[in-house]
Amino acid sequence: MIDNCEHVLRDIARAVVDIASGSSDVRMLATSRHVLGVAGESIFDVTPLDEATDDARRTPPAVALFVERGQLASRNFRPAGDELDVIADICADLDHLPLAIEIAAAQLRRLDLAQIQAKARDPLTLRSATFHRAVGRQQTIRETLEWSYELLDATSAQVLDTLSVFSGSFLEDVGRDLMRLVGIDDEQYVDALNELLDSSLLARDPSDATRFKILHIVRAFGRNRLVSSGHYGSIEHLHGLTFAQRIALLGAKFDSPDEGPTAATIFAEQPDMGAAFEHAMAQELALASDLTAPMFVFNYMQRGAECGTWPARVMAQPGADDLASAPIILAAAACHALHADGEPERAMEFVRRGRLAERNGGESSRGWIEGVAGMVAFWTGDLGGSIELHRGAAQLAHEQRNSCCEVTSWCLAAFAANILKDADLANELLANASKVSDQTVSASAIGYVLFARGALAARKDPELALSILESAAEWAADAGNSQGYNRVRRHIADVRAAQAPEAQRLRLRAQGFLGLPETGDTLHSWSAVESLLRPLASSAHDAEVALLAGAIDASPIMLDRTSQKIVDTVRERIGDAEFDRLAARGAALNLSQIRLHVKDNYLEGG
């Protein structure tokens, strides 16, 4: 066995070749941070310690190592319960690296776990005066990394320092885009990647082999080097420009067959997109707007994603209304305020600002501002106004070749007409949506039209409606459109409930409500709560009807005519005083509390 070969790699490689050529039976084991590069070499990567174990009764190896080394430093160290959770967090901050864990655990002689955890968040400072390894120059994590850096050529070291600006795993092409801005050409970048992989300073992401991963400790070391050299700010800015270009490219793919993979990519790159946005918000509002504007459709489909809050944050900054992209960002802020926050009045304030920004010469929202205005009208009970606003939005979207907005607007108008029981108008509006979807390759658009078609068919032919809605759910899933998928599944539950025996209806509608996401889609969730009123009243649960009626009255939505008749009937049965008492209890419950109440009380039977 030959240990620590990296600092004399060429000499060791020659020796290995000489020994191997003299005997066909010899086997050699060499440890090194860099491959030897000799014929017949078989590489075995020594990965960090596992962070978990398949056996729930067995302590994860990283935690076990910390405890073992901690007991050498402090004989009374016997962690249990929450302390083991703290140790697991320390090990995660140290990337589950044995050397880092040993150094951290050795400090128990003078620090408690909370203090060690704080230091682990900046692992380069970890050092123990009482802990010594055989190689004297590697007493700290910093010294170990400096040892590895000394073996890199200048370009590879620069590439690694630059890559340390990434917050998460990254694709090779995204790293290449950043390097081009830095001034490193493609050939140099690929050569550097290979050296960094061979040196174990860079690795393939175990959860996605198409992506590269930098250990937290290596990232911290590289960023410290950038800060020390005075280059961190400029590299961080170039990182922001890289992701502005990236977001623009990905945003354009939502009207294509690549919707599903594009949504997955955005979720995978959220750490870097978020870091780029936060830096831009502090330094350069125009860049923050470039990172935000192309995300409209993603945020509309993936309600609850972190980047859904970006538009309102951008538009809260001084001078934001003068940004070229202000109209679409204000449309996005309005959409989030309405659907995620359940604040229609605030949404309309964003709409008014968006209309003004368009009139003042801002880039067109391509129909989205009027479309969101139509959504506000729909949810606040102005169904006729919603239809007219969506007609206008669809026309603007058609002129701007925005098929997503056009389909959405025609479908929402058809929903409004269906609620008004104007079947002819609803079918006419839906036909307009179908014409657009027939010419698009967007899975979301196709799925949305199917959803509307299924909803319109539900009154006359429930079985046909269920078949259409199942297809709509499949299209939404293929598009990576979680919002659309959850909405369709809830509607399927409602159609099935309407056809089920009375004893099962409440449970089916409750399951449809609980299947919606807990955050990001406030209005649809409250609409699902409203759908519980009918089966509750039918089964004589008058107290529950009064409680939910109070909750809905305090919510952003209004009861429709059918629901209001149910509530009025229950009020007559139990009397004003009792109804008002129960409604006041309901008004004090938020949506999360309503979910718990439904889960605990409405799933029995059937």
Reported as a single tens digit per residue, the pLDDT across 532-570 is: 999 999 989 999 999 999 999 999 988 988 999 999 999
* 3-state SS assignment for residue 313: helix
Asked if 381 and 389 touch (Cβ cutoff 8 Å), the reply is no
Main-chain phi, psi angles of 440, to 5 degrees: -115, 160
Q: Which 8-state DSSP code applies to residue 382?
A: -
Q: Which strand ranges, in their side-by-side order, compose the sheet holding 203-205?
A: 170-171, 208-213, 203-205
pTM tops 0.75? yes
| Other Cβ atoms closer than 10 A to 500 | 17
Q: Given this model, what pLDDT does residue 345 score?
A: 96
Asked if 506 and 494 touch (Cβ cutoff 8 Å), the reply is no
Collect contacts of 377-383 with beta carbons under 8 A, ≥24 apart. 378/412, 378/415, 378/416, 379/338, 379/344, 379/523, 379/556, 379/557, 380/344, 380/558, 381/558, 381/560, 383/416, 383/417, 383/419, 383/420
Residue 43: partners with Cβ closer than 8 Å, 6 or more residues away: 35
Strand-pairing partners, residue 211, are 171
Amino acid at 138: Q
Collect contacts of 183-187 with beta carbons under 8 A, ≥24 apart. 184/155, 184/158, 184/159
Q: Given this model, what pLDDT does residue 131 score?
A: 47
**E-strand stretches of 439-579:** none
Strand-pairing partners, residue 30, are 2
Residue 376 CA to residue 369 CA, distance in Å, equals 11
Q: Given this model, what pLDDT does residue 359 score?
A: 97
In words, the CATH class of domain 151-230 is: mainly alpha
Q: What is the DSSP string of 152-189?
A: S-HHHHHHHHHHTT-SS-EEHHHHHHHHHHHT--HHHH
Q: Given this model, what pLDDT does residue 432 score?
A: 96
Residue 10 Cα to chain centre, angstroms = 46
Low-confidence ranges of the chain (pLDDT < 70): 1-13, 15-24, 31-40, 43-48, 50-57, 122-141, 144, 604-606
Residue 368 Cα to chain centre, angstroms = 23
Residue 321 CA to residue 326 CA, distance in Å, equals 6
Q: Given this model, what pLDDT does residue 28 score?
A: 74
The domains of the chain are located at 1-44, 61-139, 151-230, 520-601
Residue matched to tokens 């004589």: 540
Alpha helices in 185-269 (DSSP H): 186-198, 216-229, 232-251, 259-268
Nearest CA to 84 out of 107, 52, 55, 106 is that of 52
Main-chain phi, psi angles of 69, to 5 degrees: -70, -30
Nearest CA to 408 out of 490, 487, 491 is that of 487
Q: Given this model, what pLDDT does residue 37 score?
A: 65
Residue 543 CA to residue 586 CA, distance in Å, equals 10
Dihedral Cα 308, 313, 319, 320, nearest 10 deg: 0
Nearest CA to 543 out of 515, 581, 509, 514 is that of 581
Q: Given this model, what pLDDT does residue 126 score?
A: 63
